[in-house]
Structure 1
């Protein structure tokens, strides 16, 4: 009996080490695996607690659970017609988000794993009509840096160092999208940065 208990302990220990995700997070990831996730809303008390919690870095980026998270985020973002989405918005407090690269001709979606803003403009701009999938039916103007320099790991495991710019919705506002999603992994929302 002791041998079986010991074997089960070792099995649980080693299988849990392979993934950066908890059992409850895996439930979100693999529940209807090929379907979008439910987007958490600030109007729900339980959802709000998750949205207001700072996220943790991903330690093992070569992980099938991380791939499933990216897939789930993408399906959800496309279904909800968003330009970005962060893992906390589907109930997973990990430092991962997707964002549209409006600075590129093909306007591709990129994954940011363990992102950091390493420098930014001194100047703040008032970005018009910021909105959020987690703040339903509301829009507001938010304070944002006019440019940011960032570091992150992309979907291919490549380290990226990039400068993004802000601006208006009619131009390239990749930097605004990045800042908005970066706020999510830090437990913040655009409604915390309202300007006139």
Structure 2
């Protein structure tokens, strides 16, 4: 009788643990996969803050992607994001902008001669300047027909998993549009993952 009860307790404990683990795993939902795999060689629709339903997604915090090395949905998502960014003429784009609340975005490396586009998966800003600069004429694919100044850190140190699924750490600078402002692009896209837009960080230039 004691053994039987103990077995039942173990089974219940295992079931609870399994539920906890699976609930913490943020895999792509069926609706998100539909976006990823719909017309694989075509761009996605960019969500607009002026649309009530779109704004609910744009304003929602995103979740980390689990099991990055084994996740087969990442590469087609990156392709979809890249095609969409090219179509819209952007220099960065985050997954929430196409309706996927996951922590991944593309950003242009202006600090490299070839201005390559890179992938940031589950990014973190681990350090930043105490100085805030006022970046002029910030814009966003999800905020139509508007530009404005936004307050940004003058440098950031970041950690993320790149397109090769390797963890990397970089320090990016932020400045004016006439200089390297990779750090500004990174902050802009990172904000999307927090449910924030550049219009939430207005500033007045001195």
TM-score normalised by L of structure 2: 0.85
Moved over 3 A (4+): none
Unaligned residue ranges in structure 1 (runs of 5+):
1-17
CA drift of 1:171 comes to: 1.1
Kept in 2, the 8 Å contact 1:19–1:63? The answer is: no
1:59-89 deviations in Å (ceiling 9; x for gaps)? 0213221111100000000110000000000
Kept in 1, the 8 Å contact 2:26–2:64? The answer is: no
CA drift of 1:175 comes to: 0.1
SS at match of 1:26: helix
Q: Which residue of 2 aligns with 1:27?
A: 34
Q: How far apart are the structure 2 equivalents of 1:64 and 1:19?
A: 14
Q: Which residue of 2 aligns with 1:148?
A: 156
Q: How far apart are the structure 2 equivalents of 1:82 and 1:69?
A: 17
Which is higher, the Rg of structure 1 or of structure 2?
A: 2
Match status 1:90 vs 2:74: no
TM-score normalised by L of structure 1: 0.90
Q: How far apart are the structure 1 equivalents of 2:152 and 2:170?
A: 17
Unaligned residue ranges in structure 2 (runs of 5+):
1-24
Match status 1:45 vs 2:52: yes
Q: Which residue of 2 aligns with 1:137?
A: 145
How many residues are paired up? 179
SS at match of 2:73: helix
Q: Which residue of 2 aligns with 1:108?
A: 116
